[in-house]
Chains A and B, each alone.
Chain A
Amino acid sequence: MDFSLPESARAVRDGIGEICARYDMDYWQRCEAEKRWPEEVWEELAKGGWLGLAVPEEYGGGGQGLLELTVATETLSAGGSAGGSAFTYVLTPGFGALTLTRHGSEWQRREILPRLAAGTMETCFALTEPDAGSNALAISTSARRDGDDFLIKGQKIWITGVQRAEWMLLVTRTIPAAEARPRTNGLTVFLVNVPEAVAAGTLSYQAIPKMGANTTPSNMVFLDDVRVPADRVVGRVDQGAAVLWDILNPERILLGASSVGGAEVALRVACDYARERVVFGRPIGANQAVAFPLAQVKAKIELARLMLYKAAWLFDNREPCGTEANIGKLTAAQAAWEAADQAFQVHGGMAYSLEYPVARLLTDARIGKVAPVTEELLLNYLATQVLGLPRGF
């Protein structure tokens, strides 16, 4: 067994780490406060080839896989962007690159991957609906044939990054959920050209005011007979579940990685303060009641990271990775939350001041416990799929 990171992943950590070193916590605080896309960092990521890491070399990318993306997301998050802003990275270099590389047709790859790698085109992913979040298979957005095309109708919610996306990976039902046997049958994934559909008046969206992660808006999306040519189906009609798992598992792994990075930021902030803040004549970090919870968090971060790397490695080697992805996601989100909570405790009342980053770290960490999947659903997966316990629903 070899636990050393491959050279490619170390290059990612060093290279993105170097960019992050020039954009400090204040930068990310400002982006969040101003609800502003981190344009400067994005530009550097594009120039360095960090956006196209997982795009095959023949399409102008780095030819790497999910492991490198995992390290990239974690590094970016740990650099100060924390969980919320790291999502900016997952949308295109993650969803777009991985999905089209593995499931895209030659036309789709040629259309999208080279510009994705160059950083001149972005993607987003639309699955969840007002009545289908945890129960994602219950989506009702439908695609019906109309000559050589499909017409898509429905509503999506919590779709992040639509504003900047040229292409949306849209999950639809071509067989209604009630009629699908098994339930995973009858799903079809489309590539929807967002500006085209907006211009045609068939797609609109509305940003949802939200607590955090405001560098990228999340939206309600309304689809009113969006016309999509058949060559924009990703994978096969009705067989979209195969594509969907290859989006959802990387999503868990990458957002787990962003939680790991967020946890590292919170721990760093907490430790710095615990070293410097002197009360009763000594730094508060010298008190075991302060130090031990931080040490405990460190242990949890390392465990979560290890599991996420394993999950990414399995995915890259085309092995089943659902169990590892879910365990990694669950434990990473918990570690991030505990880290942020401890950072709050260590800062005492000052944590409540927006001049400190703790509030942002706490908000970012909290969403990890419900998005993209709730802790409860992850536990349910482990209970039913791994432990073989009876299903409750």
Chain B
Amino acid sequence: MNIVVCVKQVPDTATERKLRPDDKTIDREAAEGVINEICEYAVEEALRLKEAHGGEVTVLTMGPSKATDTIRKALAMGADKAVHLVDDALHGSDGLQTSYALAQVLKKIGFDVVILGSESTDARMGTLAAMLAERLDAPQLSLANKVEIDGSTIRIQRLTDYGFDRVEASLPAVVSVVEKINEPRYPSFKGIMAAKKKPVETLSVADAEIDAAKVGLASAATEVVDFAVAPPRAAGTIVKDEGDGGVKVAEFLASKKFV
């Protein structure tokens, strides 16, 4: 089975993250780049599918050259090889453009299953899996907390507010996973050492037959108009219980439309 897992390098959430004042895109130099946490769960699920069904796990990422670290991390966990889409022309691409660019690569390299994390910690769109599925004309199985493959049928449990849905489709398909799905493994010593020797194919926009006019900040469908630093948290309201504490708390919650 040809399993492709999409991973993204994001600014470390433990550090202060910034937007660039010049073009209002994420400042990827300001913070250390790390693998998006949910992507680790996607890699783990891809590895488990490979262990159960055989085949090969390919890591796919779109990002600047320093995203190589994130690729190596996924390879160290056990993926077989990687494709890195890297081109200055991609800078500032929004979700729609990213889905177009990645879909072009996926059409080129082929797949039985594409697995993604449900969202990234930087842009937090949470829509890439759906967009990719549409562009690839493949079923989308999103927010999975369980994935099973049986022949050419794929079944997932989709996490919902009320429990879960069982969703079934035929392969090839696009799956997004949530954190509850598994516990990602740590890279082993041999895994890290082997990762350094695994093949990483670098593709430019031209290599992937991506129309450069359709990607990048200039042609993005969405625009960041303005941004501001989040205001410091205001002091909370302290309710002093003088026999009517419960009522006051309830009134406060009602005023904020919590109850």
Contact = CB atoms under 8 A, between A and B. Distances in A.
A178 to B, nearest CB: 47
Contacts of B221: none
Contacts of A7: 193, 196
A8 B188 CA distance: 12
A15 B189 contact: yes
A11 B193 contact: yes
Interface residues of A, number: 15
A12 interface: yes
Nearest to A61: B189
Contact of B186 (A48, A53, A62): A48
Interface in A16-62: 18-19, 44, 47-50, 53, 62
Contacts of B189: 11-12, 15, 48-50, 53, 62
Interface residues of B, number: 11
A61 to B, nearest CB: 9
Contacts of B233: none
B192 interface: yes
B187 interface: yes
B124 interface: no
A146 interface: no
A18 B187 contact: yes
A14 interface: yes
A142 to B, nearest CB: 41
Contacts of A48: 186-189, 191
Contacts of A50: 188-189
A206 B256 CA distance: 63
B186 A19 contact: yes
B190 interface: yes
A39 to B, nearest CB: 16
B190 A44 contact: no
Interface centre among A48, A53, A62 (most CB of B within 10 A): A48
A47 B190 contact: no
A44 B186 contact: yes
A49 B191 CA distance: 9
A293 B36 CA distance: 38
A14 B192 contact: yes
Nearest to B188: A48
Nearest to A57: B190
Interface in B189-239: 189-193, 196
Contacts of B190: 49, 62
Contacts of A18: 186-187
A65 to B, nearest CB: 13
A49 B188 contact: yes
Nearest to B194: A11
A98 to B, nearest CB: 16
Interface string A71-113: 0000000000000000000000000000000000000000000
B188 A47 contact: yes
A15 B186 CA distance: 7
A186 B228 CA distance: 77
A7 B76 CA distance: 13
B192 A11 contact: yes
Contacts of B196: 7
Interface in B144-202: 185-193, 196
A53 B40 CA distance: 25
Contacts of B76: 15
A50 B191 CA distance: 11
Interface in A320-353: none
Nearest to A51: B189
B223 to A, nearest CB: 37
Contacts of B192: 11, 14-15
Interface centre among B185, B190, B191 (most CB of A within 10 A): B190
A3 to B, nearest CB: 20
B106 to A, nearest CB: 29
A354 to B, nearest CB: 27
A50 B189 CA distance: 6
A50 B186 CA distance: 11
Interface centre among B189, B190, B192 (most CB of A within 10 A): B189
A62 B189 CA distance: 7
A15 B73 CA distance: 10
A18 B196 CA distance: 17
A7 B193 CA distance: 8
A334 to B, nearest CB: 31
Interface centre among A8, A11, A19 (most CB of B within 10 A): A11
A50 B185 CA distance: 14
Given A15-B186, A47-B188, 20 more contacts: A7-B193, A7-B196, A11-B189, A11-B193, A12-B189, A14-B187, A14-B192, A15-B76, A15-B187, A15-B188, A15-B192, A18-B186, A19-B186, A44-B186, A47-B186, A48-B188, A49-B190, A50-B188, A62-B189, A62-B190
The 10 A-B pairs at the shortest CB distance, nearest first, are namely: A11-B192, A48-B188, A49-B189, A49-B188, A62-B189, A15-B192, A19-B186, A48-B186, A11-B193, A15-B187
25 contacts: A7-B193, A8-B193, A11-B193, A14-B187, A14-B192, A15-B76, A15-B186, A15-B187, A15-B188, A18-B186, A18-B187, A19-B186, A44-B186, A47-B186, A47-B188, A48-B186, A48-B187, A48-B188, A48-B191, A49-B188, A49-B189, A50-B188, A53-B189, A62-B189, A62-B190
